[in-house]
Amino acid sequence: MPVGRSLYVKTDLSPYIIHVQKETSNANDATILHPVTFGRFLKRYNINGIVNGTLKRIGRNRISMEFANFNDANIFLSNKILTNEKYKAFIPTFNVTRLGVIRGVPSDWSDDEVIANINVPIGSGPIIKLRRLKRKVTAGIDGTNQYVNTGTIVATFDGRTLPTRVYMCYAALPVELYIYPTIQCYNCCRFGHVKNQCRSTPRCYKCGQGHSGSNCNVEEERYWCILCKGCHQAIDKKCLEYDRQKAIKETMSKSCISYIEALKIHPPVSRVSYADALLTSPPLPNTSRDTQNSSSSQNLPNSQNVSYKKTVFLKPKAPPKLSKGYDYHAHANIVRNPVISEHKPIHNANNNKENMQISDIIKLIIQLLSQSNIVSPSNAAAIIDTLYNISKYNNGPQSQSASVELPELNT
């Protein structure tokens, strides 16, 4: 059953894309189709309906163009001028079909039985092709490989609308978007084809030289990827180029565009990965030039002096000792019940502060403390005794006979 269509229909969504290529007798002919040259050919024969700016090259011998109306696109497809000038025009398959994965299909049914018993919802195109996914198993004593059917099929729906489910014998089966697989050649390490279809010269996927990778005996430490210049094999799934190709295939399936258009969305990867840059060791310093460069590096404003001395770990210091605390309960009582007393004026006979002795000042302090109703802390008695001794020392023998008695506190 053919895939795709030769003409657009009214229900198709825009843009109406057409691809054109030059017919050649041999596939290896180096035929180049230039977009400006082909645009001049279109103007010569008055081809109408082409959207300005959409004529572009998508390959060595292929050009893409868009039409504003599906009727103009169909007229161009059936124009005999293309046949006379040996041009081939066709509708790209991705613009008129969608691929979906359907699971839960009986594995013993044939393709004709599946198509006869499957129904699509209203608004979606019919299934024009399906492909059964198979699984490889090893059977028999000799260990031969066989491919058996699975319950999953890949269906090609007509149109650009992919249904969310299909119906089979009154049962609803979900439909998932089909992502094109990422295929890599083990002969040239490029993507898009396999080794049996490769026409390029071999390139080793281990060391990158011009020989087959299956016969290379290079050690693992000397692996070199020719795709991203990393220290791994070119067929490694962790390669950055493999991730890029996988993202390109996903964009093609979701956006319904060609490989060339998806290639422009995902730029090429860096030739040296960040992980490989970290694994690369810096060059060792040259001791013979250290003395010559030491003086010149000091004169540079942005020079950085790198020290290669070993780090010296000092013994940790002990934490500082805590200072002596205070009487918490006495402070709490003062704050809780403050007592403000009226102090009586003290009249001194001399009224001359300059001639006042230290003993007189201590006596005044003791008198003020005795007249106050504030609860004294536990160490207040020791302070008063100290002041009394100081006053005896300053007065000399005249004050030794004098005694200072504190009045009892009113409790």
Given 227, 251, 276, which residue is the final one in a domain?
A: 276
Q: How many domains does the chain have?
A: 4
The share of the chain scoring above pLDDT 70, in percent, equals 70
What distance in Å separates the CA atoms of residue 83 and residue 64, rounded to the nearest whole number? 18
DSSP sequence for 269-335: PPSS-HHHHHHSPPPPP-GGGHHHHHHHHHHSTT------SPPP-PPPPPPPPPPP---HHHHHHHH
Q: Do residue 109 and residue 172 come from a single domain?
A: yes
The least confident of 5-19, 259-273, 338-352 is 338-352
Which range marks the domain in which residue 209 is found? Answer: 195-276
Strand order in the sheet with 56-59: 56-59, 62-67, 16-22, 87-90
pLDDT reported for residue 385? 63
Q: Do residue 88 and residue 117 come from a single domain?
A: no
Q: Do residue 113 and residue 69 come from a single domain?
A: no
- Residue 394 or residue 326, greater confidence: 326
291's tokens: 């003395």
Q: Do residue 104 and residue 151 come from a single domain?
A: yes
Q: Do residue 173 and residue 201 come from a single domain?
A: no
Task: Write the pLDDT tens digit of every residue in 278-332.
Answer: 554 444 445 444 444 444 444 444 444 444 444 555 666 777 766 666 677 777 7
The CATH number for 102's domain is: 3.30.70
Could you tell me if 31 and 39 are in contact, meaning their C-beta atoms sit under 8 angstroms apart? Answer: no
DSSP sequence for 209-238: SSS-GGG----GGG---TTT--SS-TT-TT
Q: Do residue 105 and residue 172 come from a single domain?
A: yes
Segment 114-120 shows an average pLDDT of 93
- Residue 391 or residue 18, greater confidence: 18
Reported as a pLDDT band with limits 50, 70 and 90, residue 399 is very low
Is 0.75 topped by the overall pTM?
A: no
Q: Per the domain annotation, does 380 fall within a domain?
A: yes
Q: Do residue 23 and residue 89 come from a single domain?
A: yes
pLDDT reported for residue 118? 93
Q: Do residue 48 and residue 89 come from a single domain?
A: yes
Task: Give the dihedral sign, CA 176/177/178/180.
Answer: negative
Q: Per the domain annotation, does 226 fall within a domain?
A: yes
The SS3 of residue 64 is strand
pLDDT reported for residue 277? 47
pLDDT reported for residue 137? 87
Q: Per the domain annotation, does 205 fall within a domain?
A: yes
pLDDT at 334 over 80: no
pLDDT at 347 over 80: no
Given 147, 177, 207, which residue is the final one in a domain?
A: 177
pLDDT reported for residue 121? 92
Q: Do residue 80 and residue 129 come from a single domain?
A: no
Given 276, 299, 330, which residue is the final one in a domain?
A: 276
Could you tell me if 374 and 367 are in contact, meaning their C-beta atoms sit under 8 angstroms apart? Answer: no
pLDDT reported for residue 392? 57
Q: Per the domain annotation, does 206 fall within a domain?
A: yes
231's tokens: 């220290």
pLDDT reported for residue 20? 94
Q: Do residue 55 and residue 114 come from a single domain?
A: no
pLDDT reported for residue 311? 53
pLDDT reported for residue 356? 57
Q: Summarize the chain as % helix, strand, coil (round to 5).
A: 30, 20, 50
pLDDT mean across residues, the chain: 78
Q: Per the domain annotation, does 259 fall within a domain?
A: yes
Could you tell me if 250 and 176 are in contact, meaning their C-beta atoms sit under 8 angstroms apart? Answer: no
pLDDT reported for residue 411? 44
Q: Do residue 173 and residue 123 come from a single domain?
A: yes
The CATH number for 63's domain is: 3.30.70.330
- Residue 154 or residue 139, greater confidence: 154
